[in-house]
Amino acid sequence: MTQVNNAGNDIIRAGEELAAFITRYPRLWVITGAGVSTDSGIPDYRDANGQWKRSPPVQHGDFMASKAVRQRYWARALIGFKAMGQAPVGGAHRVLAALEAQGLVEAVVTQNVDRLHQRAGSKRVIDLHGRADTVSCMRCGYRMMRYAMHAEMAQMNPRFAALDAAHAPDGDADLETDFSTFEIYPCPRCSGILKPDVVYYGDVVPPERRLAAQAALARSKAVLAVGTSLMVYSGYRFCREAHAMGLPIASLSLGVTRADALLSHQWRAPLTPVLEHALACLRPG
Protein backbone atom coordinates (compact mmCIF):
# COMPACT_ATOMS: atom_id res chain seq x y z
CA MET A 1 0.00 0.00 0.00
CA THR A 2 1.23 3.45 -0.89
CA GLN A 3 1.03 5.87 2.02
CA VAL A 4 1.98 9.53 1.88
CA ASN A 5 2.17 11.87 4.83
CA ASN A 6 1.73 15.62 4.50
CA ALA A 7 5.17 17.21 4.20
CA GLY A 8 6.83 19.34 1.54
CA ASN A 9 6.52 17.89 -1.93
CA ASP A 10 4.25 15.07 -0.75
CA ILE A 11 1.20 17.01 -1.98
CA ILE A 12 2.60 16.93 -5.52
CA ARG A 13 3.57 13.29 -5.18
CA ALA A 14 0.17 12.35 -3.80
CA GLY A 15 -1.58 14.23 -6.59
CA GLU A 16 0.48 12.46 -9.23
CA GLU A 17 -0.16 9.07 -7.65
CA LEU A 18 -3.87 9.80 -7.36
CA ALA A 19 -3.95 10.80 -11.04
CA ALA A 20 -2.24 7.52 -11.92
CA PHE A 21 -4.80 5.62 -9.83
CA ILE A 22 -7.68 7.34 -11.61
CA THR A 23 -6.10 6.70 -15.02
CA ARG A 24 -5.78 3.01 -14.21
CA TYR A 25 -9.31 2.74 -12.82
CA PRO A 26 -11.35 5.31 -14.79
CA ARG A 27 -14.74 4.46 -13.30
CA LEU A 28 -14.57 5.47 -9.66
CA TRP A 29 -17.07 4.89 -6.89
CA VAL A 30 -16.35 7.84 -4.63
CA ILE A 31 -17.43 8.08 -1.00
CA THR A 32 -17.03 11.43 0.76
CA GLY A 33 -17.23 12.62 4.34
CA ALA A 34 -17.04 15.74 6.45
CA GLY A 35 -13.44 16.50 5.47
CA VAL A 36 -14.63 17.46 1.98
CA SER A 37 -16.66 20.35 3.41
CA THR A 38 -14.30 21.78 6.02
CA ASP A 39 -12.87 24.19 3.42
CA SER A 40 -16.43 25.47 3.08
CA GLY A 41 -16.50 26.41 6.77
CA ILE A 42 -18.51 23.41 7.98
CA PRO A 43 -16.74 21.80 10.96
CA ASP A 44 -16.16 18.04 11.14
CA TYR A 45 -16.75 15.62 14.02
CA ARG A 46 -13.53 13.60 14.24
CA ASP A 47 -9.79 14.18 14.62
CA ALA A 48 -6.94 12.60 12.63
CA ASN A 49 -7.15 9.50 14.84
CA GLY A 50 -10.84 9.02 14.13
CA GLN A 51 -11.88 10.08 17.64
CA TRP A 52 -14.74 12.42 18.46
CA LYS A 53 -13.75 16.09 18.75
CA ARG A 54 -17.04 16.84 20.54
CA SER A 55 -20.08 15.05 21.89
CA PRO A 56 -21.64 12.67 19.34
CA PRO A 57 -24.66 14.00 17.43
CA VAL A 58 -28.23 13.52 18.59
CA GLN A 59 -29.70 10.02 18.55
CA HIS A 60 -32.92 9.37 16.66
CA GLY A 61 -34.63 7.79 19.65
CA ASP A 62 -33.73 10.70 21.93
CA PHE A 63 -34.97 13.26 19.39
CA MET A 64 -38.32 11.51 19.02
CA ALA A 65 -38.86 10.72 22.70
CA SER A 66 -37.81 13.96 24.41
CA LYS A 67 -39.25 17.43 23.92
CA ALA A 68 -36.26 18.83 25.82
CA VAL A 69 -33.87 17.23 23.32
CA ARG A 70 -35.85 18.71 20.43
CA GLN A 71 -35.89 22.15 22.07
CA ARG A 72 -32.12 22.08 22.47
CA TYR A 73 -31.64 20.79 18.93
CA TRP A 74 -33.82 23.41 17.22
CA ALA A 75 -32.62 26.33 19.35
CA ARG A 76 -29.01 25.55 18.45
CA ALA A 77 -29.93 24.90 14.81
CA LEU A 78 -31.62 28.29 14.59
CA ILE A 79 -28.10 29.71 14.96
CA GLY A 80 -25.86 27.06 13.43
CA PHE A 81 -27.79 26.13 10.31
CA LYS A 82 -27.10 29.55 8.80
CA ALA A 83 -23.49 28.51 8.27
CA MET A 84 -24.46 25.40 6.34
CA GLY A 85 -27.00 27.24 4.22
CA GLN A 86 -24.49 29.95 3.32
CA ALA A 87 -21.45 27.67 2.92
CA PRO A 88 -19.62 28.12 -0.39
CA VAL A 89 -18.69 25.22 -2.62
CA GLY A 90 -15.16 24.04 -1.85
CA GLY A 91 -12.27 23.02 -4.05
CA ALA A 92 -12.75 19.31 -3.37
CA HIS A 93 -16.39 19.52 -4.47
CA ARG A 94 -15.37 21.25 -7.70
CA VAL A 95 -12.66 18.71 -8.55
CA LEU A 96 -14.98 15.75 -8.02
CA ALA A 97 -17.58 17.41 -10.23
CA ALA A 98 -14.91 17.97 -12.90
CA LEU A 99 -13.82 14.32 -12.72
CA GLU A 100 -17.44 13.26 -13.18
CA ALA A 101 -17.75 15.56 -16.20
CA GLN A 102 -14.73 13.79 -17.70
CA GLY A 103 -16.50 10.45 -17.31
CA LEU A 104 -14.19 9.22 -14.54
CA VAL A 105 -16.72 9.00 -11.68
CA GLU A 106 -19.54 6.47 -11.64
CA ALA A 107 -21.12 7.90 -8.49
CA VAL A 108 -20.42 10.14 -5.53
CA VAL A 109 -21.86 8.57 -2.39
CA THR A 110 -21.70 11.24 0.28
CA GLN A 111 -22.15 10.92 4.01
CA ASN A 112 -22.59 14.70 4.15
CA VAL A 113 -26.01 16.34 4.25
CA ASP A 114 -25.00 19.80 2.97
CA ARG A 115 -25.80 19.30 -0.76
CA LEU A 116 -22.52 20.98 -1.74
CA HIS A 117 -21.67 18.25 -4.26
CA GLN A 118 -24.84 19.07 -6.17
CA ARG A 119 -24.13 22.80 -5.98
CA ALA A 120 -20.65 22.13 -7.41
CA GLY A 121 -22.19 20.41 -10.44
CA SER A 122 -22.00 16.71 -9.60
CA LYS A 123 -24.98 14.87 -11.09
CA ARG A 124 -24.50 11.29 -9.92
CA VAL A 125 -24.80 11.93 -6.19
CA ILE A 126 -26.32 9.59 -3.63
CA ASP A 127 -27.05 11.40 -0.36
CA LEU A 128 -26.48 8.37 1.85
CA HIS A 129 -27.47 10.16 5.06
CA GLY A 130 -30.11 12.41 3.52
CA ARG A 131 -30.24 16.19 3.23
CA ALA A 132 -30.39 18.87 5.91
CA ASP A 133 -32.28 21.51 3.95
CA THR A 134 -35.69 19.83 4.16
CA VAL A 135 -37.80 18.54 7.06
CA SER A 136 -40.59 15.98 7.21
CA CYS A 137 -43.36 15.20 9.66
CA MET A 138 -42.84 11.92 11.48
CA ARG A 139 -46.61 11.40 11.68
CA CYS A 140 -48.16 12.39 8.35
CA GLY A 141 -45.15 12.77 6.06
CA TYR A 142 -45.69 16.48 5.30
CA ARG A 143 -42.49 17.97 3.87
CA MET A 144 -41.24 21.54 3.81
CA MET A 145 -38.05 23.47 3.25
CA ARG A 146 -36.05 23.93 6.41
CA TYR A 147 -35.47 27.65 5.90
CA ALA A 148 -39.25 28.15 6.07
CA MET A 149 -39.44 26.27 9.37
CA HIS A 150 -36.55 28.31 10.76
CA ALA A 151 -38.26 31.54 9.72
CA GLU A 152 -41.36 30.50 11.67
CA MET A 153 -39.31 29.57 14.75
CA ALA A 154 -37.36 32.83 14.61
CA GLN A 155 -40.65 34.72 14.88
CA MET A 156 -41.78 32.45 17.72
CA ASN A 157 -38.46 32.79 19.57
CA PRO A 158 -37.02 36.30 19.03
CA ARG A 159 -34.69 36.02 22.04
CA PHE A 160 -33.06 32.85 20.71
CA ALA A 161 -32.95 34.19 17.15
CA ALA A 162 -30.85 37.12 18.39
CA LEU A 163 -28.20 34.89 19.99
CA ASP A 164 -24.88 33.95 18.43
CA ALA A 165 -22.51 31.04 18.98
CA ALA A 166 -19.69 29.17 17.30
CA HIS A 167 -20.77 26.95 14.45
CA ALA A 168 -20.68 23.17 14.90
CA PRO A 169 -21.01 20.23 12.45
CA ASP A 170 -24.20 19.64 10.46
CA GLY A 171 -25.79 23.00 11.19
CA ASP A 172 -25.44 22.78 14.96
CA ALA A 173 -24.07 25.55 17.23
CA ASP A 174 -22.08 25.50 20.47
CA LEU A 175 -24.82 27.10 22.53
CA GLU A 176 -25.58 26.11 26.12
CA THR A 177 -28.42 27.87 27.95
CA ASP A 178 -31.88 27.18 29.34
CA PHE A 179 -33.84 25.83 26.37
CA SER A 180 -37.06 25.10 28.27
CA THR A 181 -38.89 28.15 26.87
CA PHE A 182 -38.00 27.50 23.24
CA GLU A 183 -41.11 27.00 21.10
CA ILE A 184 -40.84 24.34 18.39
CA TYR A 185 -42.74 24.81 15.16
CA PRO A 186 -45.06 21.81 14.69
CA CYS A 187 -46.23 20.21 11.47
CA PRO A 188 -48.68 22.69 9.91
CA ARG A 189 -50.86 19.82 8.71
CA CYS A 190 -51.19 17.55 11.76
CA SER A 191 -49.13 19.20 14.56
CA GLY A 192 -46.74 16.24 14.53
CA ILE A 193 -42.97 16.25 15.07
CA LEU A 194 -40.91 17.75 12.25
CA LYS A 195 -37.45 16.24 11.75
CA PRO A 196 -34.70 17.05 9.24
CA ASP A 197 -34.51 14.57 6.37
CA VAL A 198 -31.26 13.25 7.79
CA VAL A 199 -30.24 9.80 8.98
CA TYR A 200 -29.51 10.31 12.67
CA TYR A 201 -27.51 7.91 14.81
CA GLY A 202 -29.93 5.09 15.52
CA ASP A 203 -31.65 5.63 12.16
CA VAL A 204 -31.26 3.24 9.23
CA VAL A 205 -30.21 4.27 5.73
CA PRO A 206 -33.29 3.84 3.52
CA PRO A 207 -33.02 0.64 1.44
CA GLU A 208 -33.38 2.49 -1.87
CA ARG A 209 -30.27 4.56 -1.17
CA ARG A 210 -28.26 1.53 -0.05
CA LEU A 211 -29.31 -0.43 -3.12
CA ALA A 212 -28.52 2.48 -5.45
CA ALA A 213 -25.04 2.76 -3.91
CA GLN A 214 -24.48 -0.99 -4.27
CA ALA A 215 -25.62 -0.93 -7.90
CA ALA A 216 -23.18 1.89 -8.66
CA LEU A 217 -20.42 -0.03 -6.88
CA ALA A 218 -21.08 -3.05 -9.09
CA ARG A 219 -20.53 -0.85 -12.17
CA SER A 220 -17.29 0.65 -10.87
CA LYS A 221 -13.63 -0.28 -11.23
CA ALA A 222 -12.32 1.09 -7.92
CA VAL A 223 -13.27 2.94 -4.74
CA LEU A 224 -11.93 6.34 -3.69
CA ALA A 225 -12.72 7.55 -0.17
CA VAL A 226 -12.24 11.30 0.25
CA GLY A 227 -12.32 13.18 3.55
CA THR A 228 -13.85 10.39 5.59
CA SER A 229 -12.65 8.24 8.47
CA LEU A 230 -15.28 5.65 7.54
CA MET A 231 -15.92 5.10 11.24
CA VAL A 232 -19.67 4.97 10.66
CA TYR A 233 -20.72 1.52 9.49
CA SER A 234 -23.16 2.83 6.87
CA GLY A 235 -20.15 4.02 4.84
CA TYR A 236 -17.59 1.42 5.91
CA ARG A 237 -19.83 -1.44 4.80
CA PHE A 238 -19.30 -0.49 1.14
CA CYS A 239 -15.53 -0.72 1.52
CA ARG A 240 -15.97 -4.23 2.93
CA GLU A 241 -18.16 -5.11 -0.04
CA ALA A 242 -15.69 -3.60 -2.50
CA HIS A 243 -12.84 -5.54 -0.89
CA ALA A 244 -14.83 -8.77 -1.18
CA MET A 245 -15.38 -7.97 -4.87
CA GLY A 246 -11.63 -7.54 -5.39
CA LEU A 247 -11.84 -3.82 -6.15
CA PRO A 248 -8.88 -1.59 -5.26
CA ILE A 249 -9.70 0.93 -2.51
CA ALA A 250 -7.88 4.24 -2.07
CA SER A 251 -8.23 6.88 0.63
CA LEU A 252 -7.38 10.57 0.68
CA SER A 253 -7.80 12.08 4.14
CA LEU A 254 -5.86 13.71 6.94
CA GLY A 255 -5.90 10.71 9.25
CA VAL A 256 -6.68 7.08 9.87
CA THR A 257 -9.74 5.30 8.54
CA ARG A 258 -11.66 2.28 9.73
CA ALA A 259 -10.81 0.68 6.38
CA ASP A 260 -7.02 1.10 6.62
CA ALA A 261 -6.46 -2.67 6.46
CA LEU A 262 -8.45 -2.85 3.20
CA LEU A 263 -6.71 -0.02 1.35
CA SER A 264 -4.46 -0.45 -1.66
CA HIS A 265 -3.49 3.24 -1.64
CA GLN A 266 -3.58 5.82 1.13
CA TRP A 267 -2.67 9.50 1.00
CA ARG A 268 -2.74 11.43 4.26
CA ALA A 269 -2.58 14.95 2.90
CA PRO A 270 -4.75 18.06 2.45
CA LEU A 271 -7.66 17.15 0.22
CA THR A 272 -8.10 20.14 -2.07
CA PRO A 273 -4.43 20.66 -3.09
CA VAL A 274 -3.98 16.96 -3.83
CA LEU A 275 -7.23 16.71 -5.79
CA GLU A 276 -6.47 19.87 -7.76
CA HIS A 277 -3.00 18.63 -8.66
CA ALA A 278 -4.40 15.25 -9.70
CA LEU A 279 -6.96 16.99 -11.93
CA ALA A 280 -4.22 19.10 -13.50
CA CYS A 281 -2.23 15.94 -14.26
CA LEU A 282 -5.28 14.37 -15.91
CA ARG A 283 -6.10 17.29 -18.19
CA PRO A 284 -4.75 17.02 -21.77
CA GLY A 285 -1.55 18.99 -22.24
Q: Which residues are catalytic?
A: 129
Q: Helix 91-101 to helix 271-282 angle, to the nearest 10 degrees?
A: 30
CA distance 250 to 265: 5
281 annotated as a binding-site residue = no
190 annotated as a binding-site residue = yes
Annotated binding site for Zn(2+): 137, 140, 187, 190
Binding residues: 137, 140, 187, 190
